[in-house]
């Protein structure tokens, strides 16, 4: 089942009744609006004047709905998730904590290869040269540089947005960095939600290990998914719409990322479902029943 994403960008009062999320707007004389809580996967709370009841929060947590809060720049910065995400959580934590260094190196190598290959295929879909990225795919973990991910990212963004003057990928850079930042923040929430549901610690990464980052594992597993965000942003850019300001319409397009189709094992799947398969396959690697982490494959051509 594809879970819904709700965005609240205006003052609102959110409560619950009969297992429904109930929405009332102070400046709206219409009847209250309701949505079944079981249908919700993500809720984005942007406006600072939103009021939400603790009863609703409890039901959202029980449903494993990710509640995302935003900062004054309208970017997602907080994520509310359940403390208990899986019935075998303690056992799974132990396997994750005991993962060997060789295993983690192997998992990170698979992750980087999947990411660069997806970046290359995105460039190919856009009719751009990707030979260097394809070469990097074969060199991951085997070359004298061992920094193919960074080299690939620099090359990829230079080629992807080569029509935009002075563009470089930087969180505080010129548009469409604002769109990329927002899309990646949504993707990060999708990854964190899936990890918790799989009984894993989002703060214990495979590669990322910043002590100030509570979602290092989410940052790891989302890497091969980034080109799918890039695809949405690229389509927005070439449509010719104004992108200087992150408008409500632009946000609504980016909030469709969890439900967008990706290809995994040759079959279409909503991105949020594919992420759950990725995190479950990661658990199987920690547990020892598998050595392969599953990632979606970006298609060179539209299927």
* pLDDT tens by residue, 80-133: 877 766 667 889 999 999 999 999 999 999 999 999 999 999 999 999 999 999
Q: Binding site annotation covers 19?
A: no
**Does residue 55 lie in a domain region?**
yes
Contact 42, 189 (CB under 8 A): yes
Entry pTM: 0.90
Same domain, 46 and 180: no
Clarify whether residues 262 and 164 are in a common domain.
Answer: yes
Q: How confident is the model at residue 144 (pLDDT cuts 50, 70, 90)?
A: very low
**Checking DSSP bridges between strand 20-24 and strand 40-45, what pairing results, if any?**
unpaired
Would you say 148 is a known binding-site residue?
yes
Is 43 within 8 Å of 30 (Cβ atoms)? no
Report the CATH number at residue 113.
1.20.120.920
If asked whether residues 22 and 129 sit together in one domain, one would say no
Same domain as 40, residue 171 = no
122 annotated as belonging to a binding site for a ligand: no
Q: Are 40 and 78 in contact (CB under 8 A)?
A: no
pLDDT tens-digit map of 145-174: 568 899 999 999 999 999 999 999 998 999
Residues 62 and 146 in one domain: no
Separation of alpha carbons 138 and 133, rounded Å: 9
Q: Give a yes or no: residue 228 inside a domain.
A: yes
Pairing of strands 40-45, 66-70: parallel
Contacts of 262 (CB under 8 A, 6+ apart): 225, 228, 268, 269, 270, 271, 274, 296, 298
User: What is the extent of the structural domain holding 210?
Assistant: 89-287
Both tokens of residue 182? 């927002």
Domain count for the chain: 2
12-21, 39-48, 142-151, 231-240 — which is least confidently predicted?
142-151
Q: Are 45 and 69 in contact (CB under 8 A)?
A: yes
């Amino acid at each position: 089942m594809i879970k819904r994403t709700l965005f609240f960008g205006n003052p609102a009062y959110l409560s619950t009744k009969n297992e429904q999320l109930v929405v009332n707007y102070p400046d709206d004389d219409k009847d209250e609006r309701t949505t079944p809580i079981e249908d919700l996967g993500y809720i984005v709370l942007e406006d600072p004047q939103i009021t939400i009841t603790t009863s609703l929060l409890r039901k959202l947590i029980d449903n494993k709905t990710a509640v995302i809060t935003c900062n004054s720049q309208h970017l997602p910065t907080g994520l509310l998730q359940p403390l208990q995400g899986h019935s075998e959580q303690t056992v799974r934590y132990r396997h994750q904590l005991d993962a060997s260094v060789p295993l983690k190196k192997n998992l990170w190598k698979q992750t980087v290869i999947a990411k660069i290959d997806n970046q290359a295929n995105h460039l190919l879909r856009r009719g751009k040269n990707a030979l260097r990225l394809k070469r990097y795919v074969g060199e991951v973990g085997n070359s004298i540089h061992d920094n193919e991910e960074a080299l690939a990212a620099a090359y990829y963004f230079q080629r992807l947005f080569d029509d935009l003057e002075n563009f470089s990928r930087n969180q505080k850079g010129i548009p469409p960095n604002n769109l990329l930042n927002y899309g990646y923040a949504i993707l990060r929430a999708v990854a964190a939600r899936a990890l918790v549901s799989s009984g894993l610690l989002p703060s214990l990464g495979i590669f990322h290990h910043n002590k100030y980052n509570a979602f290092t594992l989410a940052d790891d597993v989302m890497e091969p998914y980034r080109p799918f965000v890039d695809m949405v942003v690229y389509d927005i850019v070439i449509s010719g719409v104004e992108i200087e300001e992150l408008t409500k319409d632009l946000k609504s397009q980016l909030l469709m990322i969890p439900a967008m189709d990706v290809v995994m094992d040759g079959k279409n799947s909503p991105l949020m479902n594919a992420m759950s398969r990725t995190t479950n396959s990661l658990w199987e690697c920690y547990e020892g029943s598998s050595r392969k982490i599953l990632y979606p494959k970006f298609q060179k051509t539209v299927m």
